[in-house]
Amino acid sequence: MYHYLESIRFERDLRFLKANGYRTLNGDEFLERLESNSNSLKEVLLTFDDGQRSLWHTAYPLLREYGMRGVAFVIVSRVTDKPKSKLLWPTEEQQRSEFQQMNNAAEQCSWDELLEMQNSGVLDIQSHSFHHALVYSTDRIYDFVNPSYLAKYDALRTNFLVQENNQCFVLGRESFGAPIYGHYPLLLSNVWYHDDPAIREECIEYARSMGDGFIGQPGWKKKMLRYYRSINRFGQLHKGSFQRQLGPVIREDLAVSRRILEQKLSRKIEHLCLPFGVAGKQAVDIATEEGYKVIYSVKPLSDVHPRSSFLMHRYNGDKGELPLKLKGRGRLALILFGIQDRLRRTLYTEY
Ligand SMILES: [Zn+2]
């Protein structure tokens, strides 16, 4: 499993696989292996989550160069309609600036790019749900929507799904100042706290009225909190409610993503990567009913046992785990490179 790709690191993994005679599978072949219960120690499935632009400018050219393949899971609501961008082998300068780009990692591939990758046979495009959504699970304030929060966790990690007049939508940049309550991934939560739209609007309005530079100023969150408490005194405005029926919302999210991908890519969609890598039993059952045959998590979901789909957990390529699990020449060097690379990132992050 990879997310945002850096070419130097990713190419090392591919070189290791090639040098040691590993064969990469596509989605159909992987499903076949699972159904026939046959596996070879020399076969691997490379997966890529979130559909970020590095899929197009790093994964695609490198996989093609090495004659390898993989499965990419895209967040359907995030795919853009932009034209295809020029496909260039990353220059040294581009590679160096990749660290700087990490914060812009939320930029997504377009339909044209996905279609080309799918048709090339190099990347098999599958579902990572429609919204990659989080839902509020408590009425306790956690934060307020603000630019640095979005930048820190990138837009994918702040997809708060809210409801108003029976319509679901995700809070975006136009919602700076809106309260963020305690939350869980949609597929894992068993309760949804519907916040009060009137309070949300008033908070957004208040942040706006404080002027352009207000959000981020010292003490701005305290002011927001004080304002929130002042309008919410004695629960006058507070009409938030808790809902436990999340099934229909989950079903819609998974069904729509599958339908759109099948229409746009003319390809059967049978693989689902769980947003945030987790889900509860109910969500996995719904995914199975909606036609997903292979469901991918990050860590093993020990309490979930789907009846008729395969639940797979994955090793983390972002953290250099690939050589920890696969035998071959150059393994030690790759492990050492992974450690060094992680250290470099920590230093960079602190800087
Ligand atoms: Zn994801």
pTM: 0.90
Which pLDDT value is given to residue 105?
52
Q: Give the 3-state secondary structure of residue 229.
A: helix
Is 301 a residue whose pLDDT tops 80?
yes
pLDDT of residue 92: 55
pLDDT tens-digit series, residues 136-150? 999 899 999 988 776
Report the separation in Å between the CA atom of 277 and the middle of ligand 1, taken as the mean of its atom positions: 7
Give the rounded percent of residues in the chain with a pLDDT score beyond 70.
89
54 Cα to the center of ligand 1, angstroms: 14
Band (114; pLDDT cuts 50, 70, 90)? very high
User: What spacing in Å lies between the alpha carbon of 257 and ligand 1's midpoint?
Assistant: 14
User: Which of 24, 143, 138, 40 minimizes the C-alpha distance to 72?
Assistant: 24
**pLDDT at residue 351 in the model:** 40
Neighbour count for residue 261 (Cβ, 10 Å): 24
Residue-by-residue DSSP string for 311-351 = EE----GGGT-HHHHS--TTHHHHHHHHHHHHHHHHHHHH-
Distance 73 CA to ligand 1 centre (A): 8
Give me the pLDDT at residue 106, please.
59
pLDDT for the residue numbered 73: 97
Distance (Å) from CA 227 to ligand 1 centroid: 34
Mean pLDDT (the chain, rounded): 87
Asked whether 191 and 243 are in contact (CB, 8 A), the reply is yes
Residue 171 is predicted with a pLDDT of: 84
pLDDT digits 0-9 by tens, 169-203: 888 778 899 999 999 999 999 899 999 999 999 99
**Tokens 């759109």 sit on residue:** 260
d(CA 16, CA 18): 5
What average pLDDT does range 32-53 have in this prediction?
A: 92
- State the distance from the centre of ligand 1 to the C-alpha of 248, rounded, in angstroms: 21
> What are the backbone dihedrals phi and psi of residue 268, each rounded to the nearest 5 degrees, phi first?
-70, 130
Distance 132 CA to ligand 1 centre (A): 7
CB contact set of 294 (below 8 Å; sequence gap of 6+): 27, 30, 31, 34, 270, 271, 272, 309, 310, 312
User: Measured in angstroms, how far is the CA atom of residue 273 from the centroid of ligand 1?
Assistant: 8
Separation in Å, CA 53 to CA 60, 85, 107, 142, 330: 10, 10, 6, 30, 29
* Per-residue pLDDT, 130: 95
Let me know if 286 is exposed, middle or buried by CB neighbors in 10 A (0-12, 13-18, 19+): buried
User: What would the pLDDT profile of 254-271 be if each residue is shown by its tens digit?
Assistant: 999 999 999 999 999 999
Q: Taking the CB of residue 310, how many other CB atoms lie within 10 A of it?
A: 17
Residue pair 72/26 in contact by the 8 Å Cβ criterion: no
In the structure, ligand 1 is a single-atom ion and the residues with CB under 5 Å from it are 49-50
pLDDT at residue 103, as a whole number: 43
User: What's the 15 CA to ligand 1 centre distance in angstroms?
Assistant: 26
49 CA → ligand 1 middle, Å:
5
What average pLDDT does the segment 112-122 reach? 96
Rounded to an integer, what distance in angstroms lies between the CA atom of residue 4 and that of residue 240? Answer: 37
pLDDT at residue 313 is higher than 50: yes
Q: How many helices (H) and strands (E) does the chain have?
A: 14, 14
| Cα-to-centroid distance, 183 and ligand 1 (Å) | 16
Q: How far is the CA of 105 from the centre of ligand 1 (A)?
A: 12
- Distance (Å) from CA 342 to ligand 1 centroid: 20
How many angstroms separate the alpha carbon of residue 211 from the centre of ligand 1?
34
Q: Which of 313, 276, 285, 318 is nearest to 128 (CA)?
A: 276
Average pLDDT over residues 130-139: 93
